Structure 1
Amino acid sequence: MSYDYIVVGGGSSGSLLASRLAGAGSRVLVLEAGGSDNNPLISMPAGFVKLLGVEKFMWFYHSTVQSQLNGRKPVVPTGRVVGGGSSVNAMVYIRGQKADYAPWAETTKDTSWDWDSLLPIFRGMEDNNRFHDDLHGIGGPWTISDPIQICELSRKYVLAAQAIGLPFNPDFNGPVQRGAGFFQLSIKDGKRCSAATAFLQPAMKTGNIHLLTGCLVHRIIVENGRAVGVQFSRNSSLETARASGEVALCAGAIATPKLMMLTGLGPQDHLSEHGIDTLVDLPGVGQNLQDHTEVPVLAFTKPGYGYFGEDKGLRQIRNGLQYMMFKNGPVASNGVESCAFFDPDDLSKEAKIQQFCVPSVYLDPDTTDIKPTYGITINSSVARPGSKGSVRLATASAQDQPLVDTNYFDDPEDLRLSIEGLRIARRILDQEPLKSIITKEIFPGTGVDDTAALEAHAKKFVKTVYHPTGTARMGHDGDEMAVVTPDLKVRGIDGLRVADASVMPNIISGNTNSTTLVIAERAARFMIGEE
């Protein structure tokens, strides 16, 4: 098999990149390890909740033992399906703060990575159903819309947050991020608008894209210092594909560095441990792993609030019929409708915490066996975590999981901010109109107030927000830890780029999907010659 370009990974970035290359007339092979996105639960906004624990649609990367979390091994799930995370996420549209991108320009010594330069790309992708101004666009391929379904419990959270002094914010992607309000979502006509549906599927009509699913890439084929193809397994057989142009890695911040190291691109000492010949000594590969984490406050409510029981029995049938006929009701919910951004030390300042209101009991099964009932879960996520982990090889086999060291709370400030966010959540729960419907705080629990006890709670329950980034970060020529150049070329190898969240020097303040798409768009422009 021979193509102009090979895109490794058919997730968010791979879908956009392949569509742009195909639109320019190139022949593109897309290799996706997961399966098709044709499961009807994917298109239903609330359906992803049923898929988060299913291996057919998710990779489950188990962290190494975390001594700072008392020996826990948190799991980091990522998308394993066409569309990647955009097919199984909560569809939240967040772009971060303007200040998030200043370090990108500083790290690369390239102002084209600052906010003002990237904003036109964000606007150009959007087809926003409410905003059309200097910050938002219409007519783009990716539909961004107001939520169709907002339950009463989510509305009460936003009202209670205003009672502690947070302003109502009608647009978290507007001039300021601070405040409480409701997310805009990547939903079109009541259905999920993933990167696959917005970009990849329309581009398939060109006939220039060959999409193969169930393909695990084992290594990049490098000849005379140039990436010329990949070796991958499909249906238990090992195959190769070649590219006359370039190979682009879009496998995500865990799989991309793993593939690079299996190829011989990475820290020489580490590769030698596994008997892998080093093609290019790149010490930054697999380092700088950053992820958003969240710590919960869970309270039970009076019956009738939130989404408990809406997916069972007669209510499930009723809600399913309502969605099929009208594309509204509980099935049209993204499961986390409201949010607040704030600095817990000073509510008048720009946000350091993104707080999610989940109108149900929402905890990972590895942390508690509490039975679902009517309740509310408020998760506080550190917007710019200082903790950094790593991805390393466990073996030299592509079939084996890498060693993922999440390193959550390695930076004490992350733990402190998480606890302060928890305290703000409690303040919100103590305000009307929430206060009168709360029956009991379950976690951390009534009377659990001192810092040591709250630290213990945070360490027990901290979990990923599904945003791993940074493991093949970009940088300037003199930066020895930079893996890719400002135009996303892998240092020391021709014909190879990284075009996913791995290249972020620092994580943004919020959900990462839209920013990952901007990275893919820039990669496309570099490869096509538009920049």
Structure 2
Amino acid sequence: MTETFDHIVIGGGSAGAAAAARLVNQGKCRVLVLEAGHSHRHPLLDMPPGIFKMINGSKFMTYHKTEPQDHLDGRVHDIPQANVLGGGSSVNAQVYMRGRPSDYDAWDDLLRQTNDGVGWGWDDVLPYFRRMEDNNRLHNDLHGSDGPVQVSDPGHIDDMSRWFVQSVQALGEPFNTDFNGATQRGVGFYQFTNRAGKRSSSAYAFLAPLEMNPNLTIRLGATVSKVIIENDRAVGVQYRDKRGTNTVQCDGEVVLAAGALVTPKILMLSGIGPDAQLAEHGIPVICPLPGVGQNLIDHPEVPITAFANGPYGYFKQGEGWRMLRNGIQFKLFGSGPVTSAGVEAGAFVNPSNPDEEPTIQAFCVPIVYLDRDALDEVQDDFGLTVTTVVVKPKSRGEVWLRSADPHAMPVVSPNLLKHEDDMQEMIRGQRFFRRAFTSGPLARRIREIVIPTADDDQTLRAHCKRFVKTNYHPAGTAKMGRDGDGMAVLDARMRVRGIESLRVCDMSAVPDINAGNTNAPAMMLGERCADLILGIGSAREIRNS
């Protein structure tokens, strides 16, 4: 006998967990969550520094390889994605960023031109951010204090992080006490989704409190083969796990939340997407939507790495007596270096027009750190890495099917820095933050800037082409759009165009990427999608629900 649920959520990540919990809590619905990955309960996932163990190889990560990038001299690089309940929120650096009001007002300007009448402006999404947030310091009109997601200041701040902040201030940037506040501009310390050193992932925040609720069913190790569509309506899901091939039905809606690389893959496997692409793999076309898998956006990131002239930063903190001391401090007091994911300080700047909205985000990591495809480029030593990120990139990539096999990785071509404006902005960001290494207190602690070796245009361009990588924020591959936009996959209510009872609630849905990290926006999207399913739409209804 086929199981039947009210709703089925495909993907238990940042967005999917939030959507499922909202449907159970508010709607009293019977919800099935199908998650391809592992359980989130593991010490490496709980401890912030675990990210450094996972990012270069772990069962909790899936490593997508890009297609050779011609504009990067044929480079192939990794796009790691979470393979665990909680998704990116279970494996990320926990930086809590929401983006800025203008990001969402731009969505609203675009989407209010549809006939859906749903607002996506800052005033529409802020109630969601406030409702989910339990901030341990900020209690005001912009922040919440009794939500499920714990948000805290850094549990530990290394001297290198403090010196970075002071050195960027020496370049004229103001100190910012809240990057999610009235303005993004400036330098300061991030807030994080943890409390006393323990990660507050969407799995812990949204799903763990419902573990004994009979209305929530979670199945791990479940790889979705396709959404079952009958008469242009989503009626169930076919998936594979260790038991074999399974089919489940739903009386309500199927919600896709598998991430910006896998959500378009599942849509195409289900017969929804570019008709030529589906025909190539022998998949019957149910709904031709050419925008599926297009509009791939990601924040490009490039490092600046330097050696210190003394024992500064986190190098060797995971060895010998230091590891023992730090472990005891963390276990007994929930403090010390183990409470840090490495990133503590950061900045948002506009190198060309300082008083306009920032174009570059920076992350300060008090260690010599490079991605796994560049580990041989720089030796381990005491030092500092600052990565620069273009926050509103113009480059667009794409995701295609590799085959009709649900277990096959999709074909991914992100095209990072392919648009010349992105390359120019990254060069300006690299030049600006390279100056920070020779300013303020860092000038007295840096022995040598290892990469990039100089700040002329030719050197910086070559450096960017060699080292650019994902900031782990893929988005936009099943975007919401106005009526008449042939590349829009969704309407403003996150419904797949042409198919009833099928929605997308992860970062695939966004028409453009927000300025900053994407974990918090993904959770907001999940909750918003659940509310739209439940018929809750206005800011007043959100506050009262």
Q: Do they superpose with TM above 0.5?
A: yes
Q: 1:4-39: CA deviations, max 9, x gaps? A: 111100111111111111112111111110000111
Distance 1:449 1:378 in 2: 15
- The answer to whether the 8 Å contact 1:169/1:178 transfers is yes
Verify: 1:2 aligned to 2:4, yes or no. yes
Runs of 4+ residues over 3 Å off in structure 1: none
Find the residue that maps to 1:231 and give its secondary structure: strand
Shift of 1:515: 0.7
What amino acid sits opposite 2:65 in the alignment?
H
Out of 114, 118, 121, the position equivalent to 2:121 is: 114
Written as runs of structure 1 = structure 2, the 5 A alignment for 1:56-205 is 56-109=59-112, 110=117, 112-205=119-212
Distance 2:495 2:450 in 1: 49
Shift of 1:289: 0.3
Note the aligned Cα RMSD (angstroms): 1.1
- The answer to whether the 8 Å contact 1:103/1:505 transfers is no
| Greater displacement, 356-365 / 382-391 | 356-365
Aligned to 1:519: 525
Aligned to 1:220: 227
Distance 2:356 2:173 in 1: 10
Aligned to 1:384: 392
Distance 2:163 2:17 in 1: 38
What amino acid sits opposite 1:382 in the alignment?
V
| Greater displacement, 244-253 / 109-118 | 109-118
- The answer to whether the 8 Å contact 1:47/1:331 transfers is no
Aligned to 2:502: 496
| Greater displacement, 225-234 / 49-58 | 49-58
| Greater displacement, 117-126 / 353-362 | 117-126
| Greater displacement, 148-157 / 105-114 | 105-114
Distance 1:56 1:240 in 2: 26
Q: 1:193-232: CA deviations, max 9, x gaps? A: 1111111111223221111101100111111111111111
Out of 292, 300, 306, the position equivalent to 1:293 is: 300
Verify: 1:397 aligned to 2:405, yes or no. yes
- The answer to whether the 8 Å contact 2:97/2:516 transfers is yes
Written as runs of structure 1 = structure 2, the 5 A alignment for 1:216-295 is 216-235=223-242, 237-295=244-302
Aligned to 2:450: 442
Distance 2:155 2:196 in 1: 9
Distance 1:420 1:444 in 2: 13
Verify: 1:28 aligned to 2:34, yes or no. no
Distance 1:368 1:148 in 2: 28
Distance 1:213 1:365 in 2: 28
Shift of 1:111: 6.0
Q: 1:85-120: CA deviations, max 9, x gaps? A: 000001111111111112211221256101121111
- The answer to whether the 8 Å contact 2:118/2:493 transfers is no
Find the residue that maps to 1:509 and give its secondary structure: coil
Aligned to 2:17: 15
Out of 417, 425, 441, the position equivalent to 2:425 is: 417
Shift of 1:236: 5.8
What amino acid sits opposite 1:366 in the alignment?
D
The alignment of Structure 1 onto Structure 2 pairs a total of residues equal to 529
- The answer to whether the 8 Å contact 1:309/1:315 transfers is yes
Percent identical: 47
Distance 1:123 1:20 in 2: 15
Aligned to 2:474: 468
What amino acid sits opposite 1:65 in the alignment?
P
- The answer to whether the 8 Å contact 1:107/1:474 transfers is no
Distance 1:335 1:241 in 2: 42
Q: 1:278-307: CA deviations, max 9, x gaps? A: 100101100000000111111000232110
Aligned to 1:484: 490
Out of 31, 40, 44, the position equivalent to 1:41 is: 44
Shift of 1:71: 0.4
Shift of 1:68: 0.3
Shift of 1:391: 0.4
What amino acid sits opposite 1:332 in the alignment?
T
- The answer to whether the 8 Å contact 1:165/1:347 transfers is no
Distance 1:53 1:527 in 2: 38
Q: 1:497-519: CA deviations, max 9, x gaps? A: 10100001000000011111111
Structure 1 unaligned blocks of 5 or more: none
Aligned to 1:429: 437
- The answer to whether the 8 Å contact 2:12/2:257 transfers is yes
What amino acid sits opposite 1:215 in the alignment?
A
What amino acid sits opposite 2:81 in the alignment?
T
Find the residue that maps to 1:409 and give its secondary structure: coil
What amino acid sits opposite 1:106 in the alignment?
D
Find the residue that maps to 2:417 and give its secondary structure: coil
Distance 1:420 1:328 in 2: 37
Written as runs of structure 1 = structure 2, the 5 A alignment for 1:281-360 is 281-360=288-367
- The answer to whether the 8 Å contact 2:56/2:371 transfers is no
Shift of 1:46: 1.6
| Greater displacement, 339-348 / 157-166 | 339-348
Distance 2:190 2:159 in 1: 15
TM-score normalised by length of structure 1: 0.98
| Greater displacement, 231-240 / 276-285 | 231-240
Find the residue that maps to 2:16 and give its secondary structure: helix
Q: 1:292-338: CA deviations, max 9, x gaps? A: 01111110002321100111122112111110111111100021000
Shift of 1:192: 0.6
Find the residue that maps to 2:226 and give its secondary structure: strand
Structure 2 unaligned blocks of 5 or more: 538-545
Find the residue that maps to 1:233 and give its secondary structure: strand
- The answer to whether the 8 Å contact 2:9/2:31 transfers is yes
Find the residue that maps to 1:269 and give its secondary structure: helix
Distance 2:426 2:22 in 1: 40
What amino acid sits opposite 1:355 in the alignment?
A
- The answer to whether the 8 Å contact 2:237/2:249 transfers is yes
